[in-house]
Amino acid sequence: MPSLKDLRNRITSVKATQKITKAMQMVAAAKLRRAQMAAENGRPYAEKMAAVLGNLAGNLVGGVGAPRLLSGTGQDRVHLLVVCTGDRGLAGAFNSSIARLARDHANRLMAEGKTVKIITVGKKGLDVLRRQFREQIIASRDIRGNRPVDYEFAAEIADDILSRFEAGEFDVATLFYAEFRSVISQIPTAQKIIPAELPQAQTKGAGADAALEFEPDEESILDALLPKNLTVQIFRALLENAASEQGARMSAMDSATRNAGEMIKKQTLIYNRTRQAMITKELIEIISGAEAL
């Protein structure tokens, strides 16, 4: 049985941990407000751009003249997985769920005899995936410390992907991230970005039957907008990840704080019982000694 001193040290240690987890919860809650607002503000732009591109692509008869970013290479042999996670842990299952989705996708592709290449964004994704896919990881990027996610960072990632695509290094690219739903719900998501998956052209609603003319032609507009759309989709994924990470960390630290409180109660109860038993034992010894005299 541990001594009273050991129990006191244990209770003190748990109380110190509880203070840390509570502080981390409050910090995550403060960061979550900004990250959630940024993610929600980024969704309409990304969705509207995809809709515009979908309408443009729908006007191409049989896909003739479509850019390679839209039509693909015509092959399905080499797949590039862009896995976006965080740089830090203590966020529950946020990082592991994204990495697990990417790992299952990679294993399925490799079982079909296809080649898999991986680019990781965030240290935690790299740490998980390199245990099994060390040879498949061709590049990795860290999230820039405490700096907020910015468009320039997404553009750097997009430029790297585009240069590899133009060099013929892969045929299909898939983006992995966590879509933010709420503080307790972050959905691991896989989105094909090359060739771009665009919504179908609108066929209903006001103005659907109007004849539209584009200047310049659809092919030229798609050539200009598809690379930008790639950057926008990556930027949206990074914003969704930032909000999801803070939400997951807030939930994890809240659970840790409550668990620490329960542990303190249990250890305090054990401490009081042990102390009471020692006092009772000492009283019995005193009384026994007095009766012996």
Q: How far apart are the first and last CA of the chain?
A: 33
Catalytic, out of 11, 84, 126, 172:
84
Closest Cα partner for 15 from 23, 37, 210, 105?
23
The type of residue at 170 is F
| Residue 139 is a catalytic residue | no
Q: Give the side-chain half-sphere CA count within 13 A for 79.
A: 22
**How far is 231 from 268, CA to CA, in rounded Å?**
55
Buried b (16+ CB within 10 A) or exposed e, 128-160: bbeeebeebbeebbebeeeeebeeebbbebbee
Cite the active site residues: 84
